[in-house]
Amino acid sequence: MADFPTWIGRQIGFTLVELVIVIILIGILSLLGIGLFAGKSAFSPMLASQQLASATRLAQQAALAGADHGSLTVRQSASQFEFVVGEGTAAAQTFSLAREGSELSASTGLPVTITFDTLGRPASRQNMTFTFSGDSSFQLCLSSLGAVYEGACL
């Protein structure tokens, strides 16, 4: 059986004390990292803007297909954002997300119902900017031609 390699008369390796210190340091660093990402409120405006963009595209697809649920209703309550595709129809779908200290405002006011034509354009033919604000701020534009993109309408 071979001996462990030695370096100037000592065995190579880590002592138990060194390993325990490293484990403690990793634990402290992971707790600090979890603290940075544990608060969802920093991400709530971004998630809400992405969910609104998805709901808008879903309503546009329904309108392009000629379905009767080609509309989107956007509103906020005291506790959540709510996006309803095809409100009042049998195929209605509701998407909601907790507000967690975030606010939503729209250039046309809230609540707003957007109806899309068979080309996926808003029937009102006007640009609409939605602004989600909280720890961070995100804007979403629904252009008069039906394009949905991040940022303010030009």
How many helices (H) and strands (E) are present in the chain, helices listed first? 2, 10
Q: Identify the pLDDT of residue 10.
A: 66
Residues 23-50: what's their mean pLDDT?
Answer: 76
Tell me the pTM: 0.72
pLDDT confidence tier of residue 127, bands split at 50, 70 and 90? very high
Asked whether residue 37 carries a pLDDT value surpassing 70, the answer given is no
Residues 6+ apart with CB under 8 A from 102: 41, 44, 45, 48, 81, 132, 133, 134
Give percent above pLDDT 70 in the chain: 87
Tens digits of residue pLDDT in 64-122: 998 888 999 999 999 999 999 999 999 999 999 888 888 999 999 999 999 999 999 99
Q: Which has the higher per-residue pLDDT, 11 or 146?
A: 146
Q: Supply the DSSP symbol for 86.
A: T
Average model confidence (pLDDT) across the chain: 87
